[in-house]
Amino acid sequence: MATSIAKVCQSVKNLTRRSDLLYQQACCLCASFSSSSHLSHPKKLQHVINYQRTRAEVARALRRKQNFLHYEQVDKHRKSPLQSGTELVQEEKEDVAPREYRYVMPEFLPNPDFQYRDRVLEKMERRDMLRRRAVIDIPEFYVGSIMAVTVSDPYSPGKTNRFVGICIDRGGQGLQAYFVLRNVVDGLGVEVLYQLYNPTVQGIQVLKLEKRLDDQLYYLRNAPLEHSTFSFDMQPVTLPRDAPVPVNTTKVKLNPKPWEYRWERFNLKGIEPIELTPKMERGIKEHAKPWEDYDLMLKYRQTVNEDEERSIMTEVFKENSHIESQRKSSRTVLRKKK
């Protein structure tokens, strides 16, 4: 590479007047190339830790085996006491966010549609979201979880308004991220849309963490009311630590028609099979899009690029851990003051 550039430079030198300058630049380039290669070479020889592995895997890999001599011991004679203090110390940090971050905080991912992308705006929104997350605790939740939200309400006596319900939808990107709660109060179905980062939201609490079989539970509107009835003084159910999020596999039996939407066309998993009339079957056939399963371009357009996702989530993870550490230190300070 360097030689070819030098050759090109040579020819350029012969041809142009401003060749001297160009030649200097090219030489700089060559120098940088060679120096970088020199620098990168010893790094490769070093013991490189793959940060993609989990901590347990790393520990297992680094554990001392019976027929194993540590490289420090082997290379002991190579080290001179004169060199002490000169070696490069690499900070070992797990910076990559865990894979499930995508599902825990999906609102940090940008809109996959490129025409709505604005990287500067996204970055600023992310910063604002993290700032908000430092103030209130936004827990992990999914569609199907039972949640309680406290909102400031200037007209109510306690200045707050608390609503409990099942999360039937979640969406939106950035500061506009939202979720919808549904409950039956005095025999009337009530749904409220809350924005996650709305400053009037004072607290979000997950009373029961679980998932459902579908991404949206709007069909509960056309289901018997008992499926969406939850007590306002429900006690939070705690899951054992590090346990996977349970999936509620209850199948809901829909009320007879009329329905809000033609639910038979949505391929829902959380409802009992519907008795299809010939008209319904015809409708399903007409509106089915079987080719979408094979449309790679569509899938590409509907998902965020994996590299981009990793970079964003790493940033979020770093900031989050920073916030956590700050919180811990502030807690200890508070304890000491008490």
Partner 1 sequence: MIAKVHHEAVSPARHFSGFKKMSLALIALPRPVAQSTKRVAATCCCFSTTQAFCEIRNLARMRIVDNSAIGKAAAEIGKPPRVINVYNKKNVGYLGDKVLVTVKGEMRRAYIVGLRQKQKPNVPRMDTNNIVLVDDNGNPLGNRIHVPVPSCLKGKGGDLTKILSLATKFV
Q: Which residues bind partner 1 (CB under 8 A)?
A: 151, 153-156, 161, 163, 178, 185-195, 198, 200, 221-222, 255, 257-260
CB of 247 to partner 1, least distance (A): 27
Q: Which is nearer to partner 1, 158 or 244 (CB)?
A: 158
**Nearest to 323, CA basis, from 181, 138, 80, 149:** 138
Q: Which is nearer to partner 1, 114 or 155 (CB)?
A: 155
CB contact at 8 A, 177 and 197: yes
Q: Which is nearer to partner 1, 101 or 194 (CB)?
A: 194
CB of 176 to partner 1, least distance (A): 10
CB of 179 to partner 1, least distance (A): 10
Distances (CA, A) of 21 to 7, 17, 24: 16, 9, 5
Q: Give the alpha-carbon dihedral of 118, 177, 259, 280, to 10 degrees.
A: 40
- Helix crossing, 2-15 with 19-45: angle to 10°? 180
Amino acid, single-letter form, for residue 110 = P
**Residue 318: CB partners within 8 Å, gap ≥ 6?**
95
Q: Which residues of 35-50 are buried (b: 16+ CB within 10 A; e: fewer)?
A: eeeeeeeeeeeeeeee
Amino acid, single-letter form, for residue 312 = I
DSSP state, residue 269: S
CB of 145 to partner 1, least distance (A): 19
Tell me the two tokens of residue 248.
């509620």
Beta strands in the chain (DSSP E): 146-152, 160-171, 178-185, 188-195, 201-208
CB of 165 to partner 1, least distance (A): 10
Amino acid, single-letter form, for residue 259 = W
Place of tokens 């502030």: 330
Collapse the DSSP code of 220 into the 3-class scheme (helix H, G, I; strand E, B; otherwise coil) and give the result: helix
CB of 273 to partner 1, least distance (A): 20
Q: Which is nearer to partner 1, 19 or 222 (CB)?
A: 222
Q: CA neighbours within 13 Å on the CB side: how many for 150?
A: 12
CB of 316 to partner 1, least distance (A): 24
CB of 137 to partner 1, least distance (A): 19
Q: Which is nearer to partner 1, 109 or 149 (CB)?
A: 149
